[in-house]
Copies of this chain bind each other. A is one copy, B any other.
Amino acid sequence: MNYRSAMSTIPKANPLRVGFVGLAANKGWAIKSHYPAMMQLPSQFQITAVLNLDLEVSQTTIEKLKLKHAKPFADIVSFAKYDQIDLVVISVNVPNFYKLVIDLFKYSQENENFKYLFAEWSLGRNLEEAQEIQELASQRGIHTVVSLQGRKSPYVLRAKELVSGGYIGEINSVEIAVIGGFYGYERPVKSPDYLYELESGVNLISVAFGHTIDILQYITSSYFSQVNAMIFNNIPTQKLVDENGKLTGATKPKTAPDHLLFQGSLTQGNVPVSCSLKGGTPVKKFTKNLIIDIHGTRGDLKLEGDAGFAEMSNLVLYFCGGKPNEDSSTSAETMEIYHLRNYNSIVGNILRLYEAIADFHFKTNPHSKLPKDFARQGFRFDGFPTFSDALEVHKLIDLVTKSHKSGSSLKVPGLSHLSATLDTEAPQSDG
């Protein structure tokens, strides 16, 4: 499975210098995922700058993590002008991202070393923000990376491989059922309010739906051609619980949705896709709380997980099907259950993103045929998802909202700009 293991990935050049926004030694997502991932690639990445709103956090982080090449920052202006950064990684809460990245572009105009920008999904609070950010990066010629890291999940890649190899034949239906966490009847006292506010753009639709549907599109190498959505906020008031899960008696309002019904068809094969995404604690008793069921004319694929975070969960992949023989329409049916018991999916999927960035920059994957100026990963096996890929997901999310508000099934506009042929080109012999 790990196509990369057979070859050296040690570059013959200096590591990429990383300016990290939002890395704090003792809290947040970055220290749990980006940092341990990067530490596994010391010849490729070296942290040279750390930016937090509080300078002390940046200093303490550098100290604690022994980042001896790193300089602490507390304002975006001087960080943007610092010329020892090749790659800026921004891992902050989505509502804070937009202003930060606008300032970064503004004040880094004369900083010629700044060539890569890695941002968390969902990039912006909405399509407009994401679009503006993508355009700014594109104008500057900066290579962008977005953490739609589900694309690097070994289960997702194996599923994609089986699909593109014809092992389940033509896909003819898909069912997805997910419990996405948060947004349920209860809310931890310490949980930040923005998670439950519609305006923040961080919710069941952007997160659970965004990641899951990107994974589905990536596996099937197909975008959607028509969609319908119904969005529910059936729990407008949540009960607060303390650290021990006990009700405090207090409540808080919730404006973010707690359920999304989504159905539509994929462009390739007009495949019907049914999708039910639910908020709240994953409590289903007779099914897993994350299910992606893909059915084809020759077999089935099923991805299962414990909760609706396919992009950062350790999954199980079930496969049944078979490759058609050249001289026959039938073949022996094979079955596979694919699971890596000790796979750390929180670090692992992000690590594979960094590997892909390194491969691209240092050209350490001789089988990769990525063009130098590739702007979108599309449905390629190699490369990494860019802001353009993120934009496609944002467009779909925007249609979901519009479909719900207008009570219509909507055609997905402007698919013609996506060259499926180019986007799906896979390395010839990546194994």
Would A320 and B272 count as touching, CB distance under 8 A?
no
| Contact residue among B177, B226, B230, B409 (Cβ-Cβ distance under 8 Å from A265) | B230
| Contact residue among B265, B274, B283 (Cβ-Cβ distance under 8 Å from A263) | B274
A interface bracket (residues with beta carbon within 8 Å of B): 35 or more
Q: Given A173-B278, A230-B409, A409-B409: A285 and B300 within 8 A (CB)?
A: yes
**How far is B409's CA from A410's CA once the two chains are assembled, in angstroms?**
11
**How far is B302's CA from A286's CA once the two chains are assembled, in angstroms?**
7
Would A320 and B286 count as touching, CB distance under 8 A?
yes
Would A270 and B232 count as touching, CB distance under 8 A?
yes
Q: Does A344 contact B (CB under 8 A)?
A: no
**Nearest opposing residue in chain B for A299, CB measure:** B285
**How far is B257's CA from A173's CA once the two chains are assembled, in angstroms?**
14
| Contact residue among B278, B287, B297, B403 (Cβ-Cβ distance under 8 Å from A302) | B287
**How far is B270's CA from A285's CA once the two chains are assembled, in angstroms?**
22
Q: Does A295 contact B (CB under 8 A)?
A: yes
Enumerate chain B residues within 8 angstroms of A302, measured Cβ to Cβ.
Answer: 285-287
Would A318 and B286 count as touching, CB distance under 8 A?
yes
Would B300 and A284 count as touching, CB distance under 8 A?
yes
Would B293 and A274 count as touching, CB distance under 8 A?
no
Can you name 26 A-B residue pairings with CB atoms under 8 Å? A172-B234, A173-B259, A173-B276, A175-B177, A185-B297, A226-B407, A228-B230, A230-B265, A230-B272, A234-B269, A234-B270, A234-B271, A261-B263, A261-B273, A263-B263, A263-B274, A272-B276, A274-B274, A283-B295, A285-B300, A285-B302, A285-B320, A286-B293, A286-B302, A287-B293, A407-B410
